[in-house]
Amino acid sequence: MIRSLLVLTLFASTLFAESLREKIAQMIVIGFNGTTVDEQLKSDIKDLKIGGVILFSKNIKSRSQLKKLTSSLKALDSKLIIAVDQEGGRVQRLRAKNGFKNFLSAAEVAKLLPYKAYRYFDQMAKELEEAGINLNLAPVVDLATNPKNGVIYKLQRSYGKDPKRVITYANLFTKAMHKHYILTTLKHFPGHGSSLKDSHKGFVDVTKTWSKKELEPFFKSNADLIMTAHIYNAHLDSEYPATLSKKTLSIIREKRPDTLIISDDMQMGAIQKNYDLNTTLIQSIDAGVDLLLFGNQLSHPIEAKALVDRIEKLVQAGKISKNSIDKAYKRIKKLKERLDEKR
């Protein structure tokens, strides 16, 4: 009897250790080079069990190649998140030069009547479904409030400055995506539309330009995830930018407790130039970020295993709570149960 209990205890201990590491790995969404699955990526998915990958233009050459790539990825893990930025306009990874359709920008689509806009979004969603994508990092629900804004306004990534209009088109976008089994992401919380600088390049402070109405689309638009912005807003947190701010992300948790939160690329200048990796991981996970996005195209590449190892050590050292990991894992698992489900 004692021997049986000892065996069960050892088994449970081993299972917990493996479970913790798997939960951490599920929080990682990583970018990679190439147009096929190499041995490293295969190991990351099959052995390490990372949560997902993000595709960029460098990974896409043609319709047939992309379909083969996503099929290979899903063969390793049928519930793997395969994400892409397909907003339309300047930000779309599937483009005409690779055999896909070039879609209008958000600002251009917002000029269409709603029923025509929906048909347009449906065409985009159908292409993504056929390509094997299951998560679109769109729509952008930032408000076009600042004509001097170079990353949202000037790139025509917003549906407009009126929250109601933005919500209308964002919901049409998600409705079309859901018809074709594509999950959607609202970005960039708590609002990047009023900024004067680009968080890809460095520190961005919206304290003097931001207004509360920028929050509205994030709570009245139907989507599956919310992406954080690496922007500093003293009205919400006087110390950390949104991605690293528990104060800021608690607003999401209060309004949408079950919505999964994904970070913007952690290798963007606003984060990487101002915080070391340990601080970034500790603060973002504590703040409530569920999926940590490392695109591996804006800075020196970082391996998924190195991230998992580092987070695991931080948990063991008491710098990151196991409870935060557990909560993130539960939300990720719940989200993945919805993949391939028509809503």
pTM (2 d.p.): 0.92
Q: Give the pLDDT of residue 340.
A: 72
Whether 270 contacts 203, CB under 8 Å: yes
In this predicted structure, what is the pLDDT of residue 201? 65
Q: Give me the pLDDT at residue 325, please.
A: 98
List Cα–Cα distances, 321 to 119, 187, 253, 305, 306, in angstroms. 45, 27, 18, 20, 19
Per-residue pLDDT at 171: 98
Number of helical H runs and strand E runs in the chain: 12, 10
* CA-based nearest residue to 185, from 129, 240, 234, 228: 228
Tell me how many degrees the CA angle 249-285-261 measures, rounded to the nearest 5.
50
The pLDDT value recorded for residue 299 is: 82
| Tens digit of each residue's pLDDT (9 = 90 or more) over 235-251 | 999 999 999 999 999 99
Alpha carbon distance, N-terminus to C-terminus of the chain = 50
Name the H helices within the chain: 2-26, 39-43, 63-76, 106-109, 114-131, 163-179, 216-220, 246-255, 269-272, 277-287, 304-316, 322-336
Sites in the chain below the pLDDT cut of 70: 1-18, 197-198, 201-202, 342-343
Nearest to 314 by CA among 278, 284, 268: 278
Superfamily (CATH) of domain 23-336: Glycoside hydrolase, family 3, N-terminal domain (3.20.20.300)
The predicted structure's pLDDT at residue 244: 98
